[in-house]
């Protein structure tokens, strides 16, 4: 059966696959026929994702992308790729006046620097096929809006979007497409880490016209579109998935 969203015969790397959006994206991509290579820092959770993948011949590498040694070893070990999804990232809330060098470095190292450096290594080592797709997981924060306590997190996502525009231009000659998915609030484990109180969450969700937060699988479906041949004429774009929050 014809399916323009099929990922059959595509080898795809997904970072941050041990939980949340990355885990859901890995599982859904495997259902679409992709051969998956997943990475994450938590070995137990990464193995749980690996066991949930459909199909065969998947690979798993546990490590911290902020560790230069792991970053280099991963770039060497990886086969030639047809797709990449950069889903590894963290969220930290704090007023700008309480920013420290440590908080600044942590957010930029994980959210911006590690995917940038890995992309650079893979391109230099010619590990990305022509006609491939690179998808960065960005956010409505820093691209379309921000929020109190989120200035530095928003800055990391704004930086990602600037990077993607330039990469899309430079890699177009090889027909390598580079895009972002920019979700609103997604119902992941982050919501259970006491970053926000239950009262704050109940108030916040009412701001969404569709009346709920997004599901990790819904972000995965959009990512599959960008990885597939269905989006062959899409590059340098931001795919918005926000339940209507930015309409206000």
* Contact indicator for 16, 65 with CB cutoff of 8 Å: no
* Contact indicator for 55, 30 with CB cutoff of 8 Å: yes
- Residue 86 falls in the annotated catalytic set: no
* Contact indicator for 189, 248 with CB cutoff of 8 Å: no
* Contact indicator for 132, 177 with CB cutoff of 8 Å: yes
- State the catalytic residue, choosing from 86, 93, 148, 153: 153
Q: What is the dihedral of CA 242, 246, 247, 248, to 10 degrees?
A: 130
Q: What is the Cα Rg of the chain in Å?
A: 17
Question: Minimal CA–CA distance to 190: which of 170, 216, 212, 154?
Answer: 216
**What residues are annotated to the active site?**
153
């Amino acid at each position: 059966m014809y399916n323009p969203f099929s990922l059959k015969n595509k080898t795809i790397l997904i970072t941050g696959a041990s939980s949340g959006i990355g885990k859901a994206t890995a599982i859904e991509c495997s259902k679409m026929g992709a051969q998956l290579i997943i990475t994450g820092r938590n070995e137990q959770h990464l193995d749980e994702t690996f066991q949930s993948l459909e199909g065969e011949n998947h690979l798993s590498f546990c490590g911290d992308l902020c560790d230069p040694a792991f970053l280099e070893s991963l770039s060497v070990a990886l086969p030639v790729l047809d797709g990449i999804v950069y889903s590894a990232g963290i969220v930290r809330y704090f007023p700008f006046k309480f920013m420290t060098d440590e908080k600044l470095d942590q957010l930029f190292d994980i959210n911006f620097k590690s995917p940038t450096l890995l992309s650079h290594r893979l391109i230099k080592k010619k590990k990305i096929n022509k006609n491939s797709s690179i998808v960065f997981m960005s956010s409505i924060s820093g691209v379309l809006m921000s929020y109190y306590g989120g200035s530095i997190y928003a800055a990391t996502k704004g930086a990602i979007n600037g990077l993607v525009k330039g990469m899309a231009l430079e890699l177009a000659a090889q027909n390598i497409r580079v895009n972002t998915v920019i979700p609103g609030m997604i119902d992941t484990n982050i919501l259970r880490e006491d970053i926000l109180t239950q009262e704050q969450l109940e108030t916040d969700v009412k701001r969404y016209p569709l009346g709920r937060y997004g599901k990790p699988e819904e972000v995965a479906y959009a990512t599959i579109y960008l990885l597939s041949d269905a989006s062959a004429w899409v590059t340098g774009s931001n795919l918005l998935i926000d339940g209507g929050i930015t309409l206000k």
